Structure 1
Amino acid sequence: MDSPSQSGHPRSSSPPLDASPRSVSDTEPNVLGNVITRDLNRIQRTVAATANHLIAPLAEGAQASGHYQSAMGDLSKQLAKRPSLQKRMLSLNHRSPSELMRSRLSTSEIQHRALTHVPEEMLHNVPNYEHSYSLFQGFQATIPEESDGEGRKHRHRRRDGKHKSLEGGGGGPASLAAMDREKTALKRQLELLAIRKNMASSEIREIDQKISNLHQMRDIVFDRLAGLEQEEVEIEHEIISVENKMEDLEDELELAAIEENTRRGASTDDGSNADDTAADEGFMSESIYAKLPQKKVRKRNRRGRISTAVLHEHLEPGHKIREISAHEDTITALDFDVPFGTMVTASVDDSVRVWDLNSGRCYGSLEGHIASVRCLQVEDNLVATGSADASIRLWDLSKADAFKYSPPSTVVDDDAEIVENFKVQSMADCHVMTLGSHVDEVTALYFQGDTLVSGSADKTLRQWDLVKGRCVQTLDVLWAAAQSSMDEGKWRSPAIRAPGEGDFIGALQCFDAALACGTADGMVRLWDLRSGQVHRSLVGHTGAVTALQFDDVHLVTGSLDRSIRIWDLRTGTIYDAYGYENPVTSMQFDTRRIVSAAGVPVAKIYDKTDGRHWDCGAGATEDAINAAVVDRVRVKDGYLVEGRRDGMVGVWAC
């Protein structure tokens, strides 16, 4: 018989005899598991290879797998410390690959996911910048193909070459195609330039927005600084009040102790010598009166503000800080101690008033002169006033109840009518002493420490000892002028002062034994108080000297000849000079500025650092028509106070 293979029938494949039979259900899971294992191993190798290139450094490619493992280990540690983040990372296992890819590629979804984790208070001030071009277009436009100069040269060359080729008549399809390409390239360059212009405009708008935001932040911080300085002033008022109360309490305790000791001594004397007391009553009465306690006079603390005001330094020059309706007539003299401190003003209406520059409040009036005050000076809490009644009065402001116990007042708006509502109180208890040796009106004074020097229309200078309250030296200006060979024939002041003519002694200043004095003949004399002689005379002004001030190197003088001159004290020559259209009635300078009053509704300011002249005051604003002429100016550390002919006082930052 033929075998099955030979008969043409297919041979059925049967398992070997020694093989155990297997079912289909047992075979398929093993095959599927092998396939899944191979796929997982392939994905793991792919992830490891990708991590080698993305995470590992280029120079450490051999250690990529170790670096990846350590990074993943650190990540696992961080996830263990932050359960919420770990929960969010594990939630990725429950998402399909399409969802993950969609969240990775969708811009709106990415923005939504990023912004949902930012607090709302951080998003309200985020500006919306909308650009006409995308970031890629802007990046593409900023890449220069060639430098601007060379690009222009190449364009000119290409244009000139095309013109020549056209003029030569060699145009054809090739030249037209080249020109078309040239046209396309030029259009592309034009588009790139438009993109760059748009980027520059957008950058300018962003910078303007940043500047606006910075200005808003500056205003916020400025208001905060103003509040802090106001709190400083209030605390300083409270400190002064507490210190004065402590001094008064100490005085009362000392007086009580003295009275107790006196009473004990009197009782002892009465018990031992009763008969003698009855026999000799007059003697015992005298001894008792001699033992009566006398009120101890304590020298008050004459300090000014403890803190330093810096608010005016951050204001723009020419900014109005305050305007006060101080008097009803022309301001004849004014002075203040420190910015936002204490100011004293005098007027033709015969009143002298004390002001708080921080709030614009009037503390009270200094009463005692029987004529208008022509000059004054404020030094801490001590004030010296010189009057047309030929007397000089010294005032200690710390002795006034209204000054030392006044409650802190809030800052009010710049309103001229607010000051009129305050009741002006008398500060008669501030009077310390009266100096009355002059025989004519006092027109200039200056004090430092325990020494005061005054000048009068009686043509004399007097030096005073403030401790003893008496005149220690008298200097005759006419006699000194007659003795000086430089002054012969130069005196032009008449015996009776004509209207508009300056005072005989217009201004003076002293430092230790050095004294500078400006007189009606236009001379500036430098005196030595130790010898009483004129050390040097400065000739230059042709009118009466109305103001002067000196430092270590320079002396600055103002005169009715409408000029201000700066002198070099080392050589006695004029260092600089400049003039105005009207006479100079007042002048003062600080480290940077020379401020003067020159018969106009503004204060004239000269900046010594850059040589710039500018105006500051009500006359420089829109209401210049209604502004009065400025007659008196004072400046300290960029803080300007000016007095006008209508009784108004303006406070400015300069």
Structure 2
Amino acid sequence: MDKHRRDESPSGLSDIVEQDGLLGTGITSRHIEAFGRKVTSTAGHLMGPADASNGHYHHAMADIQRELRRPNTQRKVFSLTQTTPTDLVRSKLSTTEIQSRAISSLPDDLLANIPDDSSSYSLFQGFQASQDDVEFRRAHRRRSSKGKKLLKDKDGADDEPPAPANLKKERDLLSRRMELMGVRKNMCSSEIHDIDNKIANLHNMRKIVLDRLAGLEMEEAELEHELTEVENKLEDIEEETPDVPPAATPKSSDANDDSIVSEDSAMDASFMSESIYQKLPSPKSVKQRSIRKRSMPVLHEHFAPGSEIKEMQAHSDIVTALDFDYPFGTMISAALDDTVRVWDLNVGRCMGFLEGHNASVRCLQLENNIVATGSMDASVKIWDLSRARSTTTRDNRLTRRDDDDESVQADDASVASHSTTLEDCFAYSLDAHVDEITALHFKGDTLVSGSADKTLRQWDLVKGRCVQTLDVLWAAAQASTLGSESTWRPSGRTPDASADFVGAIQCFDAALACGTADGMVRLWDLRSGQVHRSLVGHTGPVTCLQFDDMHLVTGSQDRSIRIWDLRMGSIYDAYAYDHPITSMMFDTKRIVTAAGENVVKVYDKGDGRHWDCGAGVGADETGPSPALVERVRLKDGFLVEGRRDGIVAAWTC
């Protein structure tokens, strides 16, 4: 009967709580509500005025003390404290409510990272301050308009002083507005602090993601290295199998056929004509081809321009030449210490030496694992780096089998022993010049070298022999006789005898650009061996040049960089520096220059801005100054510079 009566009641749950007590402890909701009202009233009196809280405080404390002294209340409280949390949850919360609370709950570590509110005012107070300020401005405008109207109505009468009541009201309004200004200033200040906290958190998140990206690129480099090893093993197996024809035979024949076709088609067009311009790869197409060939690192693109990536003590003397294939890839460096070193830019470690020259290397180029080096011993040597990579990895694997300390020492020893010579990398030597090689450039199967013997030689890299010799003095005399070039200048001044006669060259297809010590930039046609055009403008020896499908950029000892329009044959732009130019290179966005300073001079093509990059930026004048930069190379925003003290450093640009 009792249970049936409870179910029929419209407030059955209240009756259950009322009769059985909370959780079987005997405490009902009415007891809790009464106790809560007493605590609330006590707190209210304690927070009220001091003069009115004395009597209420004593009465309230007496009521609470009397309530707590009752044995029934004490038993109920003690039984409630003995109830376990599991019983509390099971008796009062349903499964759905437990799940919703679990989903909406926040861990303590998230709650601990909530920034403290630096504002001493609430959001409502800030809103009220803004609204009151708007109302104040409206009232002020109304009073001003009324005052102007009264002045017009008086029509020249004597001004009467304002009433004290109006002045007091004006003072109160201004004081109130000052208070509101303080509130609004505090709100703005707290908002700035919040923005600073958000920016700091975003910087931390960016650093975490950058570290993650660096780890991914390291793993990517290892996977690419393993893939290269597997491909090399497959090629070795295919070469050892007699039934399978060599894969290089059809490729070489196709290459020869292509060269014949291109030569025939090139003979029908004039030098540097539209047909050759169309063949010139734009920087965008070159980048796409390199991406398809190998994975390109992107970590350096997310650093601020001018950030140092790595610095290495590469040589013990002046760096004379350097080149690298792609960011964080392989670098070749040469110096006056008569060494040519191969570097892994990803870890900043020397992988080995290219030994074979009898003197220092003055110029070099790296392209698709093929290295061409020109030396003061009048020879050009060709190297194939793909032959040595697997040998290095096998030695490193053997050292990792030892103990930890011993493996590190053995690894260093293996690298040192292997890096003394890379004999397997040497392909062949090109020996025809009679004086030191000062400039070289190869594209495909054609290599052109310039020497102090005042000649240019064109080489066939497939056959390994010289196919054409160009005498610069004779060609200049012929062009002068035909009137297509001014007389062999020094144009009123004698060139520096210490300067390289052939300072820089670059070739593509049948087009060759050559800068010489007389300050001339000559454009050659390799099909006829004649100078097609001469660019006059520099007053000192040309030391570096580079062209694309539209412009030719040249650097000279006359302390200037000139940008030429190849289509018009005229100067497109020029800018000067304080010292002679020793090295220069450009990409789609920037031109980097080594101009006799301890920084690299950078020129942004887009906005025309000049800025410095390198160790000399912000260097302390009291301390030791970094050495002068001699050589620079730039690819895809990745800058490598070599200095007079043998240090090579990589930067974002």
TM-score scaled by length of structure 1: 0.70
**How much does 1:146 deviate?**
4.4
Q: What one-letter code is carried by the residue in structure 1 that aligns with 2:429?
A: T
Quote how far apart the aligned CAs of 1:402 are.
Answer: 4.2
Change (3 A) 1:348 1:559: same
1:132-531 alignment, distance < 5 Å = 132-143=120-131, 146=134, 170=160, 175-252=163-240, 254=241, 306-400=294-388, 401-403=390-392, 405=394, 407=396, 423=416, 424-484=419-479, 485-492=483-490, 501-531=498-528
**Is residue 482–residue 488 contact of structure 1 (8 Å, CA) maintained in 2?**
no
Counterpart residue identity of residue 559, structure 1: S
Matched residues, number: 513
> CA distance change for structure 1 residues 515 and 141 in 2, over 3 Å: closer, same or farther?
same
Indicate conservation of the 8 Å contact 2:619/2:625, yes or no.
no
Amino acid corresponding to residue 211 of structure 2 in structure 1: D
Counterpart-to-counterpart distance in 1, 2:40 and 2:435? 96
Cα pair distance change 1:99/1:642, threshold 3 Å: farther
SS in 2 for 1:333: strand
- Deviation of residue 161 (structure 1)? 9.6
User: Quick one: distance in 2 between partners of 1:420 and 1:542?
Assistant: 52
Q: How far, CA to CA, are the matches of 2:324 and 2:250 in structure 1?
A: 25
2:609 — aligned with what? 612
Offset of residue 114 of structure 1? 11
Give the CA deviation at 1:622.
2.9
Q: Partner letter of residue 626 of structure 1?
A: S
Q: How big is the shift at 1:398?
A: 0.7
TM superposition shift of 1:142: 2.1
Q: Give the CA deviation at 1:170.
A: 4.4
Contact 2:341 2:353 in 1 (8 A): yes
- Are the counterparts in 1 of residues 438 and 452 from structure 2 also a CA contact under 8 Å? yes
Verify: 1:633 aligned to 2:626, yes or no: no
CA contact (8 A) 2:321 2:363 kept: yes
Which one-letter code corresponds to 1:606 in the other structure?
Answer: Y
Change (3 A) 1:441 1:205: same
Question: For the residues of structure 2 that align with 1:303 and 1:637, how far apart are their CA atoms?
Answer: 11
Counterpart code for 1:644: R
5+ residue gaps, structure 2, are 12-21, 44-100, 253-288, 401-410
SS at match of 1:564: strand
Once the two structures are TM-superposed, the CA of residue 137 in structure 1 deviates from its matched residue by 1.1
Checking the alignment, whether the CA contact within 8 Å between 2:485 and 2:533 is kept in structure 1 is no
Residues 611 and 497 of structure 1, relative CA distance in 2, 3 Å threshold: closer
- Aligned pair partner of 1:535 in 519, 532, 552: 532
Cα 1:144–1:348 change in 2 (3 A) is same
Write out per-residue CA displacement over residues 535-562 of structure 1, whole angstroms, 9 at most, x where no aligned residue.
Answer: 2111000000000011111111000000
The answer on whether the counterparts of 1:543 and 1:559 sit within 8 Å (CA) in structure 2 is yes
Quote the Cα distance in structure 1 between the aligned partners of 2:33 and 2:182: 40
CA contact (8 A) 1:360 1:419 kept: no
Summarize the Cα distance change of 1:126–1:596 in structure 2 as closer, same or farther, 3 Å threshold.
same
Distance in 2 (alpha carbons) for counterparts of 1:194 and 1:159: 29
Partner of 1:557: helix, strand, or coil? strand
Deviation at 1:249, TM superposition (A): 3.6
C-alpha spacing 1:471/1:139, structure 2 compared with 1 (3 Å):
same
Deviations 1:160-217 (A, max 9, x none): 899999x967458xx2222222221222222212211111111111001100111111
Mapped partners of 1:535, 1:382: distance in 2:
30
2: distance between equivalents of 1:437 and 1:374? 17
Q: Per-residue deviation at 1:609?
A: 1.2
Distance across 2 between alignment mates of 1:207 and 1:556: 46
Deviations, residues 450-469 of structure 1 (Å, cap 9, x unaligned): 11111111111111111111
CA contact (8 A) 2:455 2:470 kept: yes
The aligned amino acid for 1:471 is C
Q: Which residue does the alignment assign to 1:265?
A: none
Q: How far is 1:154 from its partner?
A: 5.8
Distance (Å, rounded) in 2 between the aligned partners of 1:532 and 1:104: 105
Q: Secondary structure at the match of 2:453?
A: coil
What amino acid is the match of 1:477?
V
Q: Greater CA deviation, 148-157 or 125-134?
A: 148-157
Residues 545 and 584 of structure 2 are in contact (CA less than 8 Å); yes or no, is this contact kept in structure 1?
yes
Checking the alignment, whether the CA contact within 8 Å between 2:495 and 2:541 is kept in structure 1 is: no
Separation of aligned partners in 2, 1:223 and 1:650: 21
Distance in 1 of aligned mates of 2:170 and 2:471: 96
Shift of 1:230: 0.7
| 1:280 matched residue in structure 2 | none
| 396-405 or 197-206, larger mean C-alpha shift | 396-405
Structure 1: give runs of 5+ residues left out of the alignment: 1-32, 41-87, 107-112, 259-293, 411-417
Q: Percent of pairs identical after alignment?
A: 58
Compared CA separation, residues 182 and 239, structure 1 to 2 (3 A): same
With over 3 angstroms needed to count, the CA separation of the structure-2 counterparts of 1:228 and 1:122, relative to structure 1, is same
| Number of the residue aligned with 2:643 | 644
Amino acid at match of 1:481: A
Change (3 A) 1:498 1:176: closer
Q: Give the SS at the match of 1:143.
A: helix
Structure-2 residue corresponding to 1:414: none
Say if 1:550 and 1:556, in contact at 8 Å, map to a contact too: yes
Checking the alignment, whether the CA contact within 8 Å between 2:495 and 2:540 is kept in structure 1 is no
Shift of 1:99: 8.7
Partner letter of residue 628 of structure 2?
Answer: V
Which residue number corresponds to residue 109 of structure 2?
A: 121
* 1:616–1:372 CA distance, 2 compared to 1 (3 A): same
Deviation digits for residues 515-551 of structure 1 (CA, Å, limit 9, x no counterpart): 1111111111111212222121110000000000111
- The 3 A distance-change label for structure 1 pair 169 and 544 is closer
Give secondary structure in 2 for the equivalent of 1:131. Answer: coil
Post-superposition offset of 1:95: 4.5
Specify the code of the residue in structure 1 equivalent to 2:443: Q
Provide the TM-score with structure 2 as the length reference: 0.71
| Separation (CA, whole Å) in 1 of partners of 2:439 and 2:554 | 14
C-alpha distance in structure 2 between counterparts of 1:635 and 1:549, whole Å = 12
Counterpart residue number, 1:578: 575
> Does the residue aligned with 2:116 lie in a helix, a strand or coil?
coil
| Deviation digits for residues 464-521 of structure 1 (CA, Å, limit 9, x no counterpart) | 1111111112222111111222544333399x9856x321110111111111111111
